[in-house]
Amino acid sequence: MKIKFLQGVSVELSAPTTVYDAAKNAGLISREVIAARVNGETVDLTHTLENDADIALLTFDGALTENGIDTNDDGGRRAFRHTASHILAQAVKRLYPETKLTIGPAIDDGFYYDFDSDTPFTTEMTEKIESEMKKIVKENLKIERFTLPRDEAVRFMEEKGEDYKVALIARVPEGEEISFYRQGEFVDLCAGPHLFSTGAVKALKLLQCTGAYWEGDSKNKMLQRVYGTAYPDKASLSAHLERIEEAKKRDHRKLGRDLGLFMLTDEGPGFPFFLPKGMVLRNTLIDYWREVHKRYGYVEISTPMMLNRSLWERSGHWAHYKENMYTTVIDGTDFAIKPMNCPGGMLVYKSEMRSYRDLPLRMGELGLVHRHELSGTLHGLFRVRCFTQDDAHIFMTWEQMKDEIKNVVKLFDEVYSTFGLTYQIEVSTMPEDHMGDEKDWDFAEATLKEAIGELGKSYTVNEGDGAFYGPKLDFHLSDSLGRTWQCGTIQLDMQLPERFELEYTGADNEKHRPVMIHRVVLGSIERFIGVITEHFAGAFPVWLSPVQAVVLPVSPLFEDYAKKVTKQLDEAGIRVSLDNRNEKLGYRVREAQLQKIPYMLTVGAREEEEGSVAVRERGGADGGAMSVEDFANKVLFETATRKL
| Alpha-carbon separation of residue 573 from 129, 176, 280, 634 (angstroms) | 59, 68, 13, 12
CA–centroid distance for 597 within its chain: 28
Question: E strands within 539-596?
Answer: 549-553, 576-578
CA–CA distance, 39 with 306 (Å, rounded to integer): 49
CA–CA distance, 5 with 186 (Å, rounded to integer): 34
CB 392 within 8 A of CB 404: no
Helix (H) or strand (E) holding 610: helix 605-610
| Alpha-carbon separation of residue 230 from 84, 239, 644 (angstroms) | 7, 12, 34
CB 289 within 8 A of CB 529: no
CB 365 within 8 A of CB 293: no
CA–centroid distance for 305 within its chain: 27
CA–CA distance, 351 with 179 (Å, rounded to integer): 58
**What is the Cα gyration radius of the chain?**
29
Which residues have C-beta within 8 Å of that of residue 634, sequence separation ≥ 6? Answer: 626
Please classify residue 120 by burial: count the beta carbons closer than 10 Å to its beta carbon, then call 0-12 exposed, 13-18 middle and 19+ buried.
exposed
Which residues have C-beta within 8 Å of that of residue 513, sequence separation ≥ 6? Answer: 497, 498, 502, 503
Please classify residue 56 by burial: count the beta carbons closer than 10 Å to its beta carbon, then call 0-12 exposed, 13-18 middle and 19+ buried.
buried
Q: Tell me the one-letter amino acid at 495.
A: Q
Backbone angles phi, psi at 552, to 5 degrees: -125, 100
Tell me, letter by letter, the H, E, C secondary structure of 31-49.
CCCCEEEECCEEECCCCEE
Report the phi/psi class of residue 464: left, alpha or beta, with left for phi > 0 and alpha for psi in -120 to 50. Answer: left
Is the peptide bond between 193 and the residue preceding it cis, with omega within 30 degrees of 0? Answer: yes
Count the alpha carbons within 13 Å of 310 in the hemisphere toward its beta carbon: 3
- Cα of first residue to Cα of last residue in the chain, in angstroms, is 56
| Alpha-carbon separation of residue 474 from 168, 423, 490 (angstroms) | 32, 10, 7
Backbone angles phi, psi at 209, to 5 degrees: -125, 130
Any idea which residues carry the catalytic annotation?
342, 371, 389, 391, 393, 472, 518
